[in-house]
Amino acid sequence: MNFELQSMDLVAVADEKCDALLVLVPKAFKAAKDDLSQLVGVALKAGDLEASVGKTVSLYRPLQAAAVRVVLCSVGEGTARQVRTAVLAAIGACKSPGLKKVVLCFAAPATQDAVRAAVVALADATYSYTTTKSKPQPRSLQKALIAAGNASDLRDSFNRAVAIVAGVELAKEWANRPANHATPTLLAGAAKALASHPKISCEVLGPREVAKLSMGAFLAVAQGSDEALRFVVLRYNGAAKTKAPTVIVGKGITFDSGGISIKPAAEMDEMKFDMSGAASVLGTFKALALLKPAINVVGLIPACENLINGRAVKPGDVVTSMSGQTIEILNTDAEGRLVLCDALTYAERFKPLAVIDIATLTGACVVALGAVRSGMFSDNEPLAQALSAAGERAQDTCWRLPLDEDYVEGLKSNFADVANIGGRAGGAITAAKFLQRFTEKFPWAHLDIAGSAWKSGASKGATGRPVGLLVEYLLAQSTSK
């Protein structure tokens, strides 16, 4: 979909030919003398357009505009959250197979956060997955014109939003693919494709190279599958080589059966989404390629399947991680932390400014936070605050959970340095405490996206989170240095 931003008021957009004109109306709207403004004013005065956020009035071929359909939608005070709600409601009121061009107009000056929210919401509402369908129904919307009287003040935010949309949709594409269409090798191929962009390079390591690195925890998870593991190293070089990078690490379990600690059959198909952390790394690099910030970023993706064969790791097995620490695997379904711990140790070689890992790690985080916020853990206060602020800007929110040392007790083992699970109580926290053991040499944060990475039910599909949060965080670092 092509996005465009133009400086236009209601007089100008009334003459714009399109399939749908979406007019975002704030509480403080004052009608001017032009026909479209008067129409909005009458709808407000009559109570047909209620002031509540997301309330709409739909019109077909009104005389006041050249659009086929006009949807008036209330946005309250026009905050980013309110604009997102309104855009989703407005596009829902005019969806049709023939919807190819939309004009989305702010009836009053918009904020930077509001225009970002509008672009992302419009893309989200019209996204369509097609890759594995014999009769695909691709997104019909081809062009979206964002109109605002103060467009010149919104250009940077608009460009950022368009790049985030590109990243989110790449993340959705790979997370939505069935596991047989998103093997570790295919996922690595998607990473290699990103290296066609300037400033991005990609290296892919196979089983032999990973074994030489002594990544025993990663190898243990992968050994139960006939699909070969891949360890992806992406690099975005936007600054001097001497400038330390930020490292983002995405869990890339392309299908998770649970291993010998096998999962229940119900909804196991959703375990194709267990590589959503890896998909978010791909999406973030896509956005970086478009925005070209003056920073250095490394993306690490340990990719494999967690399946069951005669070589599969068994409960009670002890493996040695790249760090030299030994791990007793009490539950083979706690595999994400095993692939991540070796990737975190690998990250040390980059002498990073910070390391952020992203993983669909625990059902416990879903219980704690549902699908609204991602779980965030960090022992570094500035990093935690920066991630929280980035999530708020992106409307891709997270919530900080504790890392008290008392939680370590559950991870003790009689047969290794540490166990890979700590019991049901506080499961998201004990998982984070396990990862923390491998992060002593750099500032670190962990994002548990088990609840936010995808939706179930009738709207089943990947959300592309937390690409927005990551991009906002990285761009903030580029402007603060």
Known catalytic residue: 160?
no
- CA–CA distance from 325 to each of 211, 217, 313 (Å)? 16, 10, 17
Residues with Cβ within 8 Å of residue 269, at least 6 apart in sequence: none
- The encoded tokens of residue 474 equal 């990285």
C-beta neighbour count of 401 within 10 angstroms? 18
Contact yes or no for 420/434 (Cβ under 8 A): yes
Cα 364–323–334 angle (5° rounding)?
A: 25
Place of tokens 């990473």: 191
CA distance 183 to 228: 9
Say if strands 200-205 and 296-306 run parallel, antiparallel, or are unpaired: unpaired
Output DSSP code: residue 475: H
**Are residues 301 and 232 in contact, defined by beta-carbon separation less than 8 angstroms?**
yes
Q: What is the C-alpha to C-alpha distance for residues 425 and 410, in angstroms, rounded to an integer?
A: 9
Strands 454-455 and 461-462: antiparallel
d(CA 321, CA 302): 14
The CA distances from residue 133 to 11, 165, 178, 321, in Å, are: 43, 23, 11, 41
Instruction: Name the residue among 31, 68, 32, 67 with its Cα closest to residue 49.
Output: 31
Sequence length of the chain is: 481
Give residues with Cβ within 8 angstroms of 332, minimum separation 6. 221, 224, 258, 259, 260, 261, 306, 312, 313, 314, 315
- Beta strands at 230-237 and 374-378: parallel, antiparallel or unpaired: unpaired
> Residue 45 catalytic?
no
Query: In the chain, what is the straight-line distance between the N-terminal and C-terminal CA atoms, in Å?
Result: 34
The residue from 337, 373, 393, 465 that is catalytic is 337
Q: Among 27, 100, 263, 292, which one carries the catalytic annotation?
A: 263
Strands 418-419 and 326-329: parallel
Which residues are known to be catalytic?
263, 337
